[in-house]
Amino acid sequence: MYRDPVSSFLPQPSHPAAIRPLRVGMIGIGTVGAGTFRVLARNQDLIAARAGRGIEVTVVAARNLARAQGIVGEGVALTADPMQVATDPDVDVVVEVAGGTGPARDWVLAAIAHGKHVVTANKALLAVHGPEIFAAASAHGVAVMYEGAVAVSIPIVKALREGLTANRIEWVAGIVNGTTNFILSKMRDEGLDFGDALAQAQALGYAEADPAFDIEGVDAAHKTALLAANAFGMPVRFADAQVEGITALQRLDVACAEQLGFRVKLLGVARRREEGVELRVQPALVPATHLLAQVNGSMNGIMVKADAAGVTMYYGAGAGSEQTASAVIADLVDVARLDGTHAGQRVPHTGFHAHAVRELPVLPRAAVRSAHYLRVPVQATTDIAAVAELLAAQRLPVRQLVLANGPAEAAPQVLVITESALQSAVDLALHALQTSPVVAGPVIALRVETLDD
Ligand code: HSE
């Protein structure tokens, strides 16, 4: 008998245990929730063929019930009370896509306490409460999945904790915020002002409810902390991350970086050093020829350096409704396959079993080492010699020192690329520059990331 490729993989009636659909309770039906509902409905046969059973949304909690009704149609129960979804005895898995760290924590912990698996795209929640939530889930033998929380469409959590499981990971670095990458690309390519570019990102649904999380680097730090936990087997340590966004970034520095052969990107970096782990988000100069420099618009790109695999790179949409839904549903399919498995044999929450998770020290800012870009406004072009002398006196090794090709009416600018140096040494040199009589304004310093070691 001929069977089409999809239905031939669907569970057969002789296997009743496999046939009961996975019952999903959804908390929140905004951009991500609506996308998840839409993709689940559109691809239901394909998804069931992969999951081995159907996946059905049975109840949704929403703030605006009339709007939610318009999205889910008939046959799905609606409630204004998320706790009702979290504790519903007829729900197998709770999808939390409402966001936030307050009530969302309570809903997720309640769902776990009621023996439900949880799928969430809420990076803030896991960055802040991850250790507590993962411990509760382990104690109750349920899974918490969060592929949609990090670089949405890119299966980077799966890559780190499964695909690269053989490797000692040296670093993970990337562009993990779609909104800021969109803004930086618009500023550079179209000369848009920061505010106009942000408004476009918000209109396209890329930005967080509070866009300060995007532009101040907090959202990228949430994701980088989750990446570090999966890469190094450490707890999620968002509170220790160094976080700097793009609000203070000047268009002049984007142009000067171009002159030197670099692009400015908001990078999340988690790097293992002998003394501890660097965990930081900053606007940084990346060589214009580097693969990460080609990641534009709302796209994300992540590189991982691993001892056996070498450098691998992951690229895809970093924000968006169905783009995030893709990851949420991938987690649901994994949950659908968990029935009958022993909790101890499942993929651990951050890829390392709880007893093997180690507290690694997160390095303070002063102990982080990297090359730097400095922009030094000076009184006259001849002051370039004084800047070179001052940096030599401070023993800050310099790789490149040139004058900016800036507009004639602006003050001359000396541009410097240093060799790799401790932040504490760079700070001392900055202080010396700032107090020098040849310096005509604030000195700007940005990290340079070549990601070649
Ligand atoms: N606001 C986030 C971003 C959404 O722009 O990357 C996806 O996490």
Residues 42-75: tens digit of each pLDDT: 999 999 999 999 999 999 999 999 999 999 999 9
User: Domain 365-448 classified CATH 3.30.70.260?
Assistant: yes
Q: What are phi and psi of 82, to 5 degrees?
A: -60, -30
In the chain, what are the domain boundaries? Answer: 14-152+324-356, 156-317, 365-448
Place of tokens 């409402």: 98
Q: Where does 275-382 show beta strands of DSSP type E? A: 276-287, 299-306, 310-317, 369-377
Helix, strand, or coil (residue 146): coil
Q: Count of CB atoms within 10 A of residue 245's CB?
A: 22
Residue 299 CB less than 6 A away from ligand 1: no
Q: Count of CB atoms within 10 A of residue 140's CB?
A: 16
From the CA of 150, give the closest atom in ligand 1. Answer: 8
- pLDDT at residue 289, as a whole number: 97
Backbone conformation region of residue 250, classed left if phi is above 0, alpha if psi is from -120 to 50, else beta:
beta
For residue 396, what are its two tokens? 């800050």
- pLDDT at residue 205, as a whole number: 87
Mutate which of 97, 180, 219 to test ligand 1's pocket (most atoms within 8 Å of Cβ)?
219
Place of tokens 């009621």: 114
Using alpha carbons only, give the angle 362, 368, 372 rounded to the nearest 5 degrees.
Answer: 150
- pLDDT at residue 50, as a whole number: 97
Fold exhibited by the domain 156-317:
Dihydrodipicolinate Reductase; domain 2 (3.30.360)
**Cα dihedral: 295, 319, 164, 270 (round 10):** 70
Contact status, residue 38 vs residue 18, Cβ threshold 8 Å: no
| Number of residues written out for the chain | 453
Contact status, residue 109 vs residue 125, Cβ threshold 8 Å: no
List the beta bridge partners of residue 267.
Answer: 282
Largest CA distance in the chain: 88
- Enumerate residues 6+ apart whose C-beta is below 8 A from 367: 275, 276, 422, 423, 424
- How many angstroms is it from 103 CA to the middle of ligand 1? 20
Q: Which of 116, 123, 186, 223 is catalytic?
A: 223
pLDDT in tens, 321-378: 999 999 999 999 999 999 889 988 999 999 999 999 999 999 999 999 999 999 999 9
The rounded distance, in Å, linking the Cα atoms of 371 and 257 is: 14
Residue 207 CB less than 6 A away from ligand 1: yes
- pLDDT at residue 15, as a whole number: 52
Q: Where does 62-182 show beta strands of DSSP type E? A: 77-79, 93-96, 117-120, 144-145, 169-175
Q: Is 116 a catalytic residue?
A: no
How many helices (H) and strands (E) would you count in the chain? 16, 17
Would you say the CATH fold of 365-448 matches that of 14-152+324-356? no
Residue 216 CB less than 6 A away from ligand 1: no
Pairing of strands 444-448, 276-287: parallel
- pLDDT at residue 12, as a whole number: 52
Contact status, residue 37 vs residue 71, Cβ threshold 8 Å: yes
Residue 318 CB less than 6 A away from ligand 1: yes
- pLDDT at residue 411, as a whole number: 87
Nearest Cα neighbor of 227 from 236, 214, 219, 218 is 236
- How many angstroms is it from 78 CA to the middle of ligand 1? 27
Nearest Cα neighbor of 297 from 408, 405, 201 is 201
Fold exhibited by the domain 14-152+324-356:
Rossmann fold (3.40.50)
Residue 128 CB less than 6 A away from ligand 1: no
- pLDDT at residue 371, as a whole number: 97
Low-confidence ranges of the chain (pLDDT < 70): 1-18, 408-409
Nearest Cα neighbor of 277 from 232, 230, 223, 221 is 232
- How many angstroms is it from 111 CA to the middle of ligand 1? 25
The rounded distance, in Å, linking the Cα atoms of 164 and 231 is: 9
